[in-house]
Amino acid sequence: MSSSNTNTGGPSASAPAAATPAASDTLLTVHSVDLLKSKDGPNRREHHTEAYFSDKLIIRRGQTFQMWIEFSRPFNPKSDRLQLQLKLEPIFSRSTGIHISVPLVDVLEDGRWEMKIVEQKDKRVRLAVNTLPTASIGRYKVTVDSFSPKGKLLFPCTPNDVYMLFNPWCEDDPVYLDNEAERKEYVLNSMGKVYYGTEQQIGTRTWNFAQFEQDILEACLFLLERGQVAMTEWRDPVIVSRMVSALVNSNDDYGVLMGNWKDSYEGGTSPTAWSGSGDILRQYYKSSGKPVKFAQCWVFAGVTNSVLRCLGIPTRCVTNFSSAHDTDLSLTTDIYIDEKLEIIKDKTSDSVWNFHVWNESWMTRLDLPAGYGGWQVVDSTPQEPSQGSYRCGPTPVSAVRNGQVNLKFDTPFVFAEVNSDRIYWQKKPDGSFSQVHVEKNSIGQRISTKAVGSDARVDITHLYKYPEGSEEERIAVERASRFGSKPTLYPSPTGNDVSVEIVMDGTGPRIGGDAKLSIVLKNKSSNQRTASLLYEVMVMYYTGVLKSTVKKGQIPVTLKPQETKTIPWTLLYKEYMKHLVDQGALMLAVTGRVNETRQILATQFNFRLRTPDLIITALGDAVVGKELTVKITFQNPLSQVLRNVLFRIEGLGMQSIRKIAYGDVDKLAMITLTEKFVPTVAGSQKLLASMDCRLLTQVHGVADTVVKPK
């Protein structure tokens, strides 16, 4: 068989000049297939997948990719034919797969599975293969079918599978995002920020989404199979994101993470000790789907962010402060008090979380009227079931803003989280309750996400609701309340010329110190007012669930006409030290009745005890392949010994987490650890550290390091 001069002009390439009829008559056998899958090759670069720590061909749908095929003889376009078979088959479940035939054509057309020859060299041809922007994502097996007058042959390209992802760079993909800086942030950035605390005391921690690390893509596709949703539905980001919101929690479908809001984390990891998603997803995948213990909302959100970014859906973490958990779909947060103005704890099932972290994913909503695409809330923290499963979203942020709570999915629940009114109900002698006080602007404060291209915090409250008290905001609340379970609320209030609020100086108290607040009363009338204030300070979980009362008391108040009075209030360290739970969260509730007008006064103020940071310092320059020494310093702020302290370190391009069991840290002691790392990736990198300790949680640190190439 003679090799010959070949016209490499593409699809119309003529048969090789020296090819004899006998040569074309022989079977066309595929000798080898090169999927051009190297990280720095054109396929991975053009598809923005070179960051994946994998030697597989990873592509994005709606874009062409290239491949070489070597045959037993030169390909003759006049008598030979070629076809690719792509099969998406479940690896673990029994659901039906997908089979796609890709024909060879002369000219590629958009919106079709097709391929054409773009180069021919002797026995090799280079193909450009067109994929659909609506193809199901997943891991496709590839077979080459070669046809010649002598017959058909199949060449399975095992183990060279093709991984297909969503494509935010493709205008015809529903996840298309038209801003390159946003694509870099919401798809390609593997480090992010998660905000926590209270609206007056916003804490921040760095999270390693690890979406490109080893085994993470496989773990995400394994997770989708657990969703028991037909693979034909894997084309739709609405269904995939809803599925992921159910699968990241383990409440009813053997998902990734088991939630735990109690005090004990035996047999697992404290939620505040995690600093990234890589370890969690690898553990889940390698144990064939055994839930990882334990998580709270920011861990659920961090892992959801990782899975959706890994699959190609632009996603970000969002924190809502004073986030309502409406259990009865009244679209209000209801607090019940007795005749003595004390909170009836077992009647108050609605709660207000100090903060709640969820995700937003970017997509068009072809299943909804026009105008509801864009950012969608996706929340995998198990709070209330939705259509029989613990999941939430995707919920259009624009529908929440306008009070359009009749639009799917779970809009009433998300609306109540950010924009419900807090209503106080008092028990009457006959056992019924009457509405005595409404707070219209306490829920949904300083909704926060990380800025594009920097570590700054951005306030996106305006995307969720109109300015508090504006006509548009009241219309949205009233429109939404018509769909709630108590549509006839809001009777006219009684005389209310006295106001009460609680204020805090600066960034607030540190753990181990005294907490100092002020109660401010204003008399707006031209008459004297007297009242007796009841205060109760309670330790609570950040979810708003109260654990125990630390201190309570009474303060008699006399207010002159038009007077503003500030009453200092202090909680001593020795009063709270034995009561603390995770997050060091406390709530001061103040209630009272104005004697002259019978006006009920009521307010609540959440605050946290700030924890120290871990200080991370790199000693010397960071260079790829060269050992780097890092110093980590920590000061115990408590006059109590910290037992069994464990440090966890990740980042710097490491493919796994490093754990250091330190032991005990003496009261008020300062300690220093020295660790050595070998950076593997050049460029701006972060090194994260967190501390796992029963008595002191939410202690972490981050160092920014520029790693030089070799």
* Same structural domain, 279 and 401: yes
Residue closest to 87 by CA, chosen among 172, 158, 168, 167: 158
Residue 344 belongs to a domain: yes
* Same structural domain, 598 and 621: no
**Is residue 178 flagged as an active site residue?**
no
Kindly state the percentage of the chain with pLDDT values over 90.
67
pLDDT of residue 645: 95
pLDDT of residue 484: 66
pLDDT of residue 680: 85
pLDDT of residue 479: 76
Handedness of CA 618, 623, 624, 625 (dihedral sign): negative
> What are 392's strand-pairing partners?
379
Tens-digit pLDDT profile for residues 553-583? 999 999 999 999 999 999 999 998 888 777 6
| Cβ-proximal residues to 388 (8 Å cutoff; 6+ apart), any chain | none
Residue closest to 375 by CA, chosen among 365, 383, 384, 367: 365
Residue 10 belongs to a domain: no
- Strand, coil or helix: 243: helix
Cβ atoms of residues 331 and 412 within 8 Å: yes
- pLDDT band of residue 9 (cuts 50, 70, 90) is very low
Cβ atoms of residues 42 and 74 within 8 Å: no
Which of 131, 165, 199 finishes a domain? 165
pLDDT of residue 614: 97
* Same structural domain, 280 and 378: yes
* Same structural domain, 118 and 56: yes
Tens-digit pLDDT profile for residues 250-260? 998 789 999 99
Q: 297, 310, 317, 693: which is the annotated catalytic residue?
A: 297
- pLDDT band of residue 7 (cuts 50, 70, 90) is very low
pLDDT of residue 494: 56
Tens-digit pLDDT profile for residues 594-644? 999 888 888 888 899 999 999 999 999 999 999 999 999 999 999 999 999
Q: Mean pLDDT across the stretch 684-703?
A: 92
Residue 490 belongs to a domain: no
Of residues 693 and 183, the one with the higher pLDDT is: 183
Q: 48, 356, 437, 700: which is the annotated catalytic residue?
A: 356
- pLDDT band of residue 3 (cuts 50, 70, 90) is very low
Q: CA gyration radius for the chain?
A: 30
* Same structural domain, 213 and 358: yes
Whole-number Å distance between alpha carbons of 404 and 374: 15
Which of 135, 165, 195 finishes a domain? 165
Residue 318 CB: number of other CB atoms within 10 A? 27
Q: What are the φ/ψ torsions at residue 632 (nearest 5 degrees)? A: -120, 125
Q: Mean pLDDT across the stretch 337-344?
A: 88
Residues 253/254/259/264 CA torsion (nearest 10 deg) = 140
Residue 489 belongs to a domain: no
pLDDT over threshold 60, residue 662: yes
pLDDT over threshold 60, residue 477: yes
* Same structural domain, 535 and 460: no
* Structural domains in the chain (count): 4
Cβ atoms of residues 106 and 137 within 8 Å: no
Q: What are the φ/ψ torsions at residue 306 (nearest 5 degrees)? A: -65, -45
pLDDT over threshold 80, residue 143: yes
pLDDT over threshold 60, residue 487: no
β-pairing verdict for 151-156 and 124-130: unpaired
**Is residue 317 flagged as an active site residue?**
no
Residue 493 belongs to a domain: no
CATH number of the domain where residue 402 is located: 3.90.260.10
pLDDT over threshold 90, residue 695: no
Cβ atoms of residues 585 and 560 within 8 Å: no
Kindly state the percentage of the chain with pLDDT values over 70.
94
Of residues 153 and 600, the one with the higher pLDDT is: 153
Q: What are the φ/ψ torsions at residue 691 (nearest 5 degrees)? A: -115, 135
Residue 22 belongs to a domain: no
Residue 487 belongs to a domain: no
> What are 328's strand-pairing partners?
none
CATH number of the domain where residue 101 is located: 2.60.40.10
Q: Is 171 annotated as a binding residue?
A: no
Average model confidence (pLDDT) across the chain: 89
Residue 11 CB: number of other CB atoms within 10 A? 15
Range in 183-187, 397-401, 428-432, 545-549 with the lowest mean pLDDT:
545-549
* Same structural domain, 330 and 392: yes
Q: Mean pLDDT across the stretch 177-197?
A: 97
C-alpha separations of 324 from 245, 353, 661 in Å: 19, 6, 38
pLDDT over threshold 90, residue 96: no
Tens-digit pLDDT profile for residues 35-65? 999 999 999 999 999 999 999 999 999 999 9
pLDDT over threshold 90, residue 421: no
In one-letter notation, the amino acid at residue 502 is: I
- pLDDT band of residue 584 (cuts 50, 70, 90) is low
Q: Mean pLDDT across the stretch 178-205?
A: 96
Whole-number Å distance between alpha carbons of 478 and 285: 46
* Same structural domain, 448 and 542: no
Residues 687/690/691/694 CA torsion (nearest 10 deg) = -170
pLDDT over threshold 70, residue 23: no
Q: Mean pLDDT across the stretch 304-318?
A: 98
Cβ atoms of residues 243 and 225 within 8 Å: no
pLDDT over threshold 70, residue 493: no
Percent helix / strand / coil, the chain, rounded to 5: 15, 40, 45
Q: Is 468 annotated as a binding residue?
A: yes
Which of 116, 136, 165 finishes a domain? 165
Q: Count the helices and strands in the chain (H runs, E runs).
A: 12, 40
**Is residue 356 flagged as an active site residue?**
yes
Tens-digit pLDDT profile for residues 449-468? 999 999 999 999 999 998 88
Residue 321 belongs to a domain: yes
β-pairing verdict for 351-363 and 332-337: unpaired
Domain that holds residue 652: 615-707
pLDDT of residue 12: 35
Whole-number Å distance between alpha carbons of 235 and 639: 56
Cβ atoms of residues 528 and 558 within 8 Å: yes
pLDDT of residue 241: 98
For the chain, the straight-line distance linking the first and the last C-alpha, in angstroms and rounded, comes to 48
Distance from CA of residue 334 to its chain's centroid?
Answer: 28
Tens-digit pLDDT profile for residues 63-92? 999 999 999 999 999 999 999 999 998 877
* Same structural domain, 199 and 220: yes
Whole-number Å distance between alpha carbons of 378 and 360: 6
* Same structural domain, 598 and 629: no
Whole-number Å distance between alpha carbons of 444 and 448: 11
pLDDT over threshold 60, residue 16: no
* Same structural domain, 82 and 216: no
CB burial string 392-431: b at 16+ within 10 A, e below: bbbbbbbbbbbbbbebbbbbbbbbbbbbbbbbbbbbeeee
Q: 379, 410, 582, 692: which is the annotated catalytic residue?
A: 379
Cβ atoms of residues 305 and 192 within 8 Å: yes
pLDDT over threshold 90, residue 327: no
* Same structural domain, 682 and 627: yes
pLDDT over threshold 60, residue 4: no
